[in-house]
């Protein structure tokens, strides 16, 4: 019995010991996660792991590859992998947020397997990192979860390079084709290069390097190519291969095709430039009117005219760049250039302004040519007059005189300076050295008062030499010297006479006579008489009663005289003065003066424009100008014309009078024959010069007669591509490119077959057509259905009368019309740019109307029908009218719509209908658009609390947040997370799922953390900035592209390290979505206060289970000891019994 009891007690103790001993072998599943089994993610990539791709928002059917490594010990026969995608991602196959794939092969430890999914990405997402959950189940028993993994999916901005236009016209021969590349994507393309090839065109440069092309930007590439003449009328493709590096650092290649239609190259430019006047004056402001004329039969657009103006021509006003939007046939526009020629010293200079003209012709081809505008630069009349008043000095006295300077020329002069010297010794006060006169405008004068002291012994004439320097309007420095004679009289001379000027010109002149009383007393009854054998007095009888003269009094008389051109070089004037002196005696004094007569010749120029004539009528402009300094009177020009007939002109032109710089113009009509090659015009000019002399001059001018262009008409058709099996409208234009008028113009239009005219019998009577005049006719034609492209000829015959030769002429030509098959009659397409409306705001909906057909769509009426519920308010008209949509083109209409914030539904519909004429019938297309209504939420942190306020390294602390939704709608799937950091460890997890928060809702959440012991060391660092920068790093990717020359692109990207945040803060991330699934992410930074301690301390932290295990062991040991004692006690008692 005792033995049996002892065995039971021993068994109990043994069991208790085994249980206690096994406690230390219980695994810590809460703190440490075993890595000895399951799968780990070894790689995630769009595309394949070997050929990755760059994927962004809006991409569809994108392959996502996930690489897994199996670390388990037991083989797995296969797995079922479920990928739970974040908001905005969708499985391409199931169209749900869960994607699945099966791997049905045996998986052993260390194996790496690859899983493939096909994903659609919502375009409303933004580039960034998105988290997805991957659950892996046993394939043979799907109830067994092997691994639950999380992985990041990256979205980047994607480049999308397209051509802005895929159809171009080019000429036969050399061309410079400009192709616009545009990046329609949201990401940049780096190191863009384009390879160009064509089987039928010769490409001179097959590779063009562009460089970087940012998002929504474009680049223009110029392709130099040659099109053979045999390609005229054909549509030829050009292949473009675009290579670039995307924002993921991957090489991308895209192939595009543009098409060219080759047309025949015109022989002459379509723009003609004319300029008037072509004669300029140096140093003066000249206005030149330049006209641009469209001499062709079609409209030209985007005309740009650049003037290369020589340096000697200063542009005062106007622009060297002239932009014209468009010019219709025969239309002309004008611009004015204000020029001032400077720095020219020659009397006559020829200069050219080169004009470069660029425009887009009817085929949308850019054409460029250069032309020269010839100008003649003449020097203006420069004349300066200087006199000294009075010109009579008294010997032995101080004489106050005035030096007068006047600009008598026709142009201003600048920086005028004057110096004077005398032939006899005198003392001059008030003019020491040089008199800086300054600038003088035309007819402007300046005066300087000086004092001249003459010696007592000086009597007679002295010569004053005056040197004048100035800068003319052309900027040329000039110097002139003038001589003036002064009379020095003794005090004994009672009366002194001064006469000026000393030089006379042909024609009318003013002579100034001044009498000075030198006596100490008054003289009376002064009488002056003047006679001259050469001069003719005007309104002067020859006698001047002066009257009395007080002492030193001066009286002046101005006499107008006429100088005849018959006078050679000098003219005589005799002056006699009688008076009664102070003593009462009668006195008489006489003087004889000689004037120098300047000989001047009239300067008349005669010019004729144009200098080239054509057979038939020619309007000729004859210009006569007076470029001299004097007027010319009673001009009569007689013309002797050889080689041409003048219409309504007798050969005489009474011009009349011409003042200086005046011109007159005569337009006459000259008729030349077909056989004439030159025209000679002899002009005889008869006129009276300023001196009254009759003069005659003869000028001879030769003109060239250019043969008439053959043919005399230019014929074009637009459009020249029509669709078979349809009624098409074409326009036939006829331009008279000859310089003469044609009468009785009759046009016959016929087709060899295939084209039928509707409402037209093929005959067109034009009548008379003037030079450069355009006549057009619009025809409705029909061609039968065709299966392939066909070319049908249209024969045009023009019969007309040349009214100058009475010859009946005929021009014929054949125009080609390309007939293309009517592949399909497609309805127009209406597309909306957005499918989401935001409540409480005005939304601009862009509707794109696309014409996918090969023909025009006309008369389109677009009607917007909002729902009857009144939830949508149109902010504009509900009817839009569009005149025409070209083939394979589109137009966009912006419809502003207001959506009230009170709307309750999640979707709303909008009906749009379009009625149009497609060339055969009136069609109607209706479409109902359904828009999602977005109610954007806004979850914000209204307050937060950190407990305790001061955190001890290694200690516990908590952060409490108050959240509130202040947005317009409910926030779904609200999740709050803490950014990971090694400086603190979340105790209950780093993410809290809040759920949905309705509008205006609030909630409170808390996070608990354990601060890291590293804070004690990091806080004690003296340079906190060094700590922060320690964890910031930038990685630079360097790629070298094999271009010529080589191109290297360095792309620097910053990577976020968990340790780069300041050590005294926690970053809280809040994520949620709205009612349409759009994701929102916001963050808040919460600063922390660390308890700084300079003492280094070491703490040992023991896990809860470890402490609990130790406690249990201790208790179990005590219990075991007690049981042993009790057992021994019982055994002892029983044995004692």
DSSP states of 227-268: E-GGGTT-EEEEEEEEEEE-TTS-EEEEEEEEEEEEEPPPSS
Residues 1041 and 212: their CA atoms lie apart, in Å, by: 13
Those residues with Cβ within 8 angstroms of residue 825's Cβ, 6 or more apart along the chain or in another chain: 853, 918, 920
Do 103 and 151 belong together in one domain? yes
Do 500 and 570 belong together in one domain? yes
In this structure, of 10-14, 59-63, 229-233, 464-468, the range with the lowest mean pLDDT score is: 10-14
Do 964 and 1080 belong together in one domain? yes
Residues 243 and 195: their CA atoms lie apart, in Å, by: 8
Q: Which residue has the higher pLDDT, 560 or 35?
A: 560
Those residues with Cβ within 8 angstroms of residue 317's Cβ, 6 or more apart along the chain or in another chain: 336, 337, 338
Q: Distance from first CA to last CA of the chain, Å, rounded?
A: 13
**% residues pLDDT > 70 (the chain):** 86
Tell me the pairing of strands 1089-1090 and 950-951. parallel
The CA R_g of the chain, rounded to the nearest whole Å, is 53
pLDDT-derived band at 1011 (thresholds 50, 70, 90) equals confident
Rounded to 5 degrees, φ, ψ at 984 are -155, 155
Mean pLDDT across 13-24:
48
Q: Among 74, 111, 258, 100, which Cα is nearest to 181's?
A: 258
Residues 459 and 925: their CA atoms lie apart, in Å, by: 114
Sheet holding 98-103, edge to edge: 98-103, 79-84, 128-138, 145-155
Look at residue 31 and tell me if it is in a domain. no
In this structure, of 383-387, 461-465, 888-892, the range with the lowest mean pLDDT score is: 888-892
Task: Note the pLDDT of residue 447.
Answer: 92
Q: Which two tokens stand for residue 1020?
A: 């004690």
Task: Note the pLDDT of residue 919.
Answer: 66
Domain hosting 392: range is 381-491
| Partners of 884 in the β-ladder | 858
Q: Tell me which of 820, 840, 873 is where a domain ends.
A: 820
| Element counts in the chain: helices (H) and strands (E) | 4, 83
Tell me the pairing of strands 836-838 and 922-934. parallel
Those residues with Cβ within 8 angstroms of residue 984's Cβ, 6 or more apart along the chain or in another chain: 1009, 1010, 1011, 1012, 1066
Look at residue 30 and tell me if it is in a domain. no
Do 1021 and 990 belong together in one domain? yes
Do 662 and 691 belong together in one domain? yes
Residue-wise pLDDT tens digits, 558-582: 999 888 888 878 888 899 999 887 7
pLDDT-derived band at 825 (thresholds 50, 70, 90) equals low
Q: Tell me which of 543, 578, 598 is where a domain ends.
A: 598
Residues 397 and 406: their CA atoms lie apart, in Å, by: 28
| Helices (H), ranges, 970-1085 | 1014-1019, 1024-1030
Q: Among 926, 933, 975, 717, which Cα is nearest to 840's?
A: 933
Percentages of the chain per state (helix, strand, coil), in multiples of 5? 5, 60, 35
Could you give the angle at which helices 1104-1136 and 2-22 cross, rounded to 10 degrees? Answer: 170
| Partners of 667 in the β-ladder | 621
Residue-wise pLDDT tens digits, 129-175: 999 999 999 877 777 888 899 999 999 998 889 887 777 888 878 88
Mean pLDDT across 18-44:
50
Q: Is it the case that residue 324 has pLDDT exceeding 50?
A: yes
Do 945 and 1053 belong together in one domain? yes
Run of H or E residues at 6: helix 2-22
Look at residue 323 and tell me if it is in a domain. yes
Q: Tell me which of 899, 934, 969 is where a domain ends.
A: 934
Highest mean pLDDT: which of 332-341, 490-499, 924-933?
332-341
- Cα torsion 353, 359, 362, 365: sign: positive
Mean pLDDT across 92-121:
89
Run of H or E residues at 986: strand 984-986
Residues 694 and 634: their CA atoms lie apart, in Å, by: 10
Mean pLDDT across 93-107:
87
Beta strands in 390-459 (DSSP E): 392-394, 398-407, 413-422, 427-429, 435-440, 445-453
Task: Note the pLDDT of residue 1025.
Answer: 35
Do 794 and 885 belong together in one domain? no
CA angle 544, 548, 554 (to 5 degrees): 80
523: three-class secondary structure by DSSP? strand
Q: Is 90 exposed, middle or buried (0-12, 13-18, 19+ CB in 10 A)?
A: buried
Number of domains in the chain: 10
Cis upstream peptide for 501 (omega within 30°): yes
874: three-class secondary structure by DSSP? strand
Task: Note the pLDDT of residue 37.
Answer: 54
Q: Is it the case that residue 20 has pLDDT exceeding 60?
A: no
22: three-class secondary structure by DSSP? helix
Residue-wise pLDDT tens digits, 234-251: 788 899 999 999 888 888
Task: Note the pLDDT of residue 1018.
Answer: 56
Do 930 and 943 belong together in one domain? no
pLDDT-derived band at 21 (thresholds 50, 70, 90) equals very low
Do 1031 and 973 belong together in one domain? yes
In whole angstroms, how far apart are CA 575 and each of 393, 485, 527? 19, 18, 10
Task: Note the pLDDT of residue 265.
Answer: 67
Task: Note the pLDDT of residue 828.
Answer: 85
For residue 739, the 8-state DSSP code is: S
Residues 884 and 724: their CA atoms lie apart, in Å, by: 20
Q: Is it the case that residue 413 has pLDDT exceeding 70?
A: yes
Q: Among 274, 276, 273, which Cα is nearest to 623's?
A: 276
Those residues with Cβ within 8 angstroms of residue 1026's Cβ, 6 or more apart along the chain or in another chain: none
Contact 139, 103 (CB under 8 A): yes
What CATH number is given to the structural domain containing 99?
A: 2.60.40.690
On average, the pLDDT of the chain sits at 80
Residue-wise pLDDT tens digits, 980-995: 777 788 887 788 888 8
CA angle 251, 1057, 1098 (to 5 degrees): 155
Q: Is 106 exposed, middle or buried (0-12, 13-18, 19+ CB in 10 A)?
A: exposed
For residue 25, the 8-state DSSP code is: G
Do 943 and 1085 belong together in one domain? yes
Q: Is it the case that residue 1050 has pLDDT exceeding 70?
A: no
Q: Is it the case that residue 366 has pLDDT exceeding 90?
A: no
Report the phi/psi class of residue 473: left, alpha or beta, with left for phi > 0 and alpha for psi in -120 to 50.
alpha
Q: Among 685, 700, 559, which Cα is nearest to 628's?
A: 685
Those residues with Cβ within 8 angstroms of residue 702's Cβ, 6 or more apart along the chain or in another chain: 678, 679, 680, 681
| Partners of 1015 in the β-ladder | none
Residues 781 and 720: their CA atoms lie apart, in Å, by: 12
Look at residue 857 and tell me if it is in a domain. yes
Those residues with Cβ within 8 angstroms of residue 312's Cβ, 6 or more apart along the chain or in another chain: 341, 342, 343, 344, 349, 351, 377
Rounded to 5 degrees, φ, ψ at 787 are -95, -25
Cis upstream peptide for 695 (omega within 30°): no
Q: Which residue has the higher pLDDT, 823 or 456?
A: 456
Q: Is it the case that residue 806 has pLDDT exceeding 60?
A: yes
Run of H or E residues at 1115: helix 1104-1136
Mean pLDDT across 602-626:
82
Look at residue 1134 and tell me if it is in a domain. yes
Q: Indicate the Cα dihedral angle 739, 740, 741, 745, nearest 10°.
A: -80
What CATH number is given to the structural domain containing 254?
A: 2.60.40.10
Give the count of beta carbons closer than 10 Å to the beta carbon of residue 826. 12
Task: Note the pLDDT of residue 103.
Answer: 87
Look at residue 5 and tell me if it is in a domain. no
Highest mean pLDDT: which of 286-295, 605-614, 781-790?
286-295
pLDDT-derived band at 1031 (thresholds 50, 70, 90) equals very low
21: three-class secondary structure by DSSP? helix
Do 966 and 1075 belong together in one domain? yes
Do 947 and 847 belong together in one domain? no
Look at residue 28 and tell me if it is in a domain. no
Look at residue 32 and tell me if it is in a domain. no
């Amino acid at each position: 019995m005792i033995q049996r009891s002892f065995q039971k007690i021993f068994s109990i103790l043994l069991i208790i010991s085994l249980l206690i001993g096994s406690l230390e072998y219980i695994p810590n599943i809460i703190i440490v996660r075993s890595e000895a089994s399951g799968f780990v993610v070894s790689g995630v990539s769009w595309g394949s792991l070997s050929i990755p791709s760059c994927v962004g928002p809006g991409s569809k059917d994108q392959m996502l590859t996930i690489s897994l490594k199996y670390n388990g010990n037991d083989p797995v026969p296969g797995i079922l992998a479920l990928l739970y995608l974040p908001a905005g991602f969708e499985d391409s196959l199931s169209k749900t947020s869960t994607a699945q794939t099966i791997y049905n092969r045996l998986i052993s430890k260390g194996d790496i397997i690859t899983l493939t999914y096909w994903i659609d990405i919502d375009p409303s997402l933004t580039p960034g990192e998105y988290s997805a959950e991957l659950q892996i189940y046993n394939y043979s028993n799907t109830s067994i979860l092997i691994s639950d993994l999380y992985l990041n999916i990256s979205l980047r901005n994607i480049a999308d390079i397209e051509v802005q236009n895929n159809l171009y016209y080019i000429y036969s021969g050399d061309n410079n084709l400009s192709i616009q590349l545009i990046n329609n994507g949201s990401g940049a393309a780096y190191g863009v290069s384009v390879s160009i090839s064509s089987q039928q065109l010769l490409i001179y440069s097959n590779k063009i390097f562009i460089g970087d092309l940012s998002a929504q930007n474009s680049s223009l590439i110029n392709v130099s190519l040659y099109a053979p003449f045999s390609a005229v009328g054909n549509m030829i493709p050009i292949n473009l291969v675009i290579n670039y590096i995307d924002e993921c650092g991957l090489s991308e290649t895209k192939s595009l095709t543009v098409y060219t239609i080759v047309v025949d190259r015109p022989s002459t430019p379509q723009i003609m430039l004319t300029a008037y006047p072509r004669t300029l004056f140096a140093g003066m402001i000249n206005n030149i009117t330049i006209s641009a004329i469209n001499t062709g039969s079609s409209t030209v657009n985007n005309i740009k005219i650049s003037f290369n103006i020589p340096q000697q021509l200063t542009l005062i006003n106007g622009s060297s760049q002239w932009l014209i939007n468009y010019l219709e046939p025969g239309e002309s526009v004008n611009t004015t250039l204000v020029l001032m020629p400077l720095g020219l010293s020659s009397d006559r200079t020829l200069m050219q302004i080169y004009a470069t003209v660029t425009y887009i012709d009817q085929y949308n081809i850019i054409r460029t040519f250069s032309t020269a505008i010839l100008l003649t630069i003449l020097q203006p009349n420069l004349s300066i007059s200087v006199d000294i008043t009075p010109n009579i000095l008294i010997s032995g006295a101080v004489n106050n005189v005035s030096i007068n300077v006047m600009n008598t020329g026709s142009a201003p002069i600048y920086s005028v300076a004057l110096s004077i010297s005398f032939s006899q010794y005198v003392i001059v006060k008030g003019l020491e050295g040089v008199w800086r006169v300054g600038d003088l405008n035309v007819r402007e004068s300046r005066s300087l008062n000086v004092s001249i002291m003459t010696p007592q012994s000086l009597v007679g004439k002295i010569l004053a030499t005056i040197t004048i320097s100035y800068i003319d309007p052309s900027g040329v420095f000039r110097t002139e010297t003038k001589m003036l004679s002064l009379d020095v009289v003794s005090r004994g001379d009672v009366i002194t006479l001064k006469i000026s000027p000393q030089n006379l010109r042909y024609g009318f002149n003013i002579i100034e006579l001044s009498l000075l009383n030198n006596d100490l007393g008054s003289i009376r009854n002064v009488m002056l008489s003047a006679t001259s054998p050469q001069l003719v007095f005007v309104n002067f009888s020859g006698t001047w009663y002066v009257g009395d003269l007080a002492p030193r009094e001066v009286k002046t008389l101005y006499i107008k005289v006429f100088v005849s051109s018959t006078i050679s070089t000098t003219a005589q004037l005799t002056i006699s003065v009688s008076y009664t002196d102070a003593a009462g005696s009668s006195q008489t004094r006489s003087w004889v003066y000689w004037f120098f007569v300047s000989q001047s010749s009239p300067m008349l120029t005669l010019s004729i424009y144009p200098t080239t004539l054509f057979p038939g009528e020619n309007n000729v402009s004859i210009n006569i100008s007076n470029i001299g300094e004097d007027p010319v009177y009673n001009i009569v020009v007689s013309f002797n014309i050889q080689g041409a007939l003048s219409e309504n002109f007798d050969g005489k032109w009474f011009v009349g009078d011409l003042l200086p710089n005046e011109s007159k113009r005569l337009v006459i009509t000259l008729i030349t024959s077909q056989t004439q090659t030159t025209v000679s015009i002899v002009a005889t000019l008869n006129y009276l010069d300023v001196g009254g002399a009759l003069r005659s001059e003869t000028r001879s001018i030769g003109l060239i007669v250019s043969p008439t262009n053959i043919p005399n008409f230019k014929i074009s058709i637009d459009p020249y591509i029509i669709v078979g099996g349809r009624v098409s409208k074409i326009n036939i234009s006829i331009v008279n490119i000859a310089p003469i008028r044609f009468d009785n113009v009759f046009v016959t239009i016929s087709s060899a077959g295939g084209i039928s005219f509707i409402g037209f019998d093929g005959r067109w009577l034009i009548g008379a057509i003037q030079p450069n005049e355009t006549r057009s006719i619009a025809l409705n034609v029909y061609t039968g259905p065709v299966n392939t492209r066909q070319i049908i000829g249209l024969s045009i015959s023009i019969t007309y009368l040349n009214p100058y030769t009475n010859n009946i002429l005929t021009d014929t030509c054949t125009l080609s019309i390309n007939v293309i098959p009517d592949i399909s009659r497609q309805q127009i397409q209406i597309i909306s740019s957005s499918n989401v409306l935001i409540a409480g705001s005005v939304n601009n909906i862009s509707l794109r109307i696309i014409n996918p057909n090969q023909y025009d769509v006309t008369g389109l009426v677009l009607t917007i029908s909002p729902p009857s519920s009144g939830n949508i308010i149109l902010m504009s008209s509900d009817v839009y009218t569009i005149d025409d949509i070209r083939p394979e083109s589109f137009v966009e209409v912006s419809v502003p719509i207001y959506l009230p914030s009170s709307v309750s539904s999640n979707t709303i519909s909008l009906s749009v209908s379009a009625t149009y004429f497609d060339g055969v019938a009136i069609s109607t297309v209706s479409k109902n658009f359904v828009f999602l209504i977005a109610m954007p939420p806004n979850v914000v942190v209204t307050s937060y609390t950190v407990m305790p306020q001061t955190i001890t390294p290694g200690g516990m602390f908590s952060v409490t947040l108050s959240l509130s939704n202040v947005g317009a709608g409910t926030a779904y799937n609200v999740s709050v997370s803490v950014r990971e950091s090694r400086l603190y460890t979340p105790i209950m997890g780093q993410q809290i799922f809040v759920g949905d928060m309705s509008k205006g809702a609030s909630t409170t959440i808390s996070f608990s953390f354990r601060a890291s012991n590293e804070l004690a060391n990091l806080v004690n660092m003296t340079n906190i900035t060094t700590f922060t920068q320690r964890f910031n790093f930038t990685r630079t990717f360097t790629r070298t592209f094999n271009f010529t020359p080589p191109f290297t692109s360095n792309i620097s990207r910053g990577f976020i390290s968990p340790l780069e945040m300041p050590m005294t803060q926690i970053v809280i991330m809040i994520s949620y979505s709205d009612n349409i699934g759009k994701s929102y992410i916001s963050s808040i930074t919460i600063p922390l206060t660390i308890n700084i301690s300079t003492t280094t301390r070491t703490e040992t932290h023991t896990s809860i289970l470890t402490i609990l295990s130790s406690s249990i062991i201790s208790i179990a040991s005590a219990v075991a000891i007690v049981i042993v004692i009790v057992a021994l006690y019982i055994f002892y008692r029983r044995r004692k019994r």
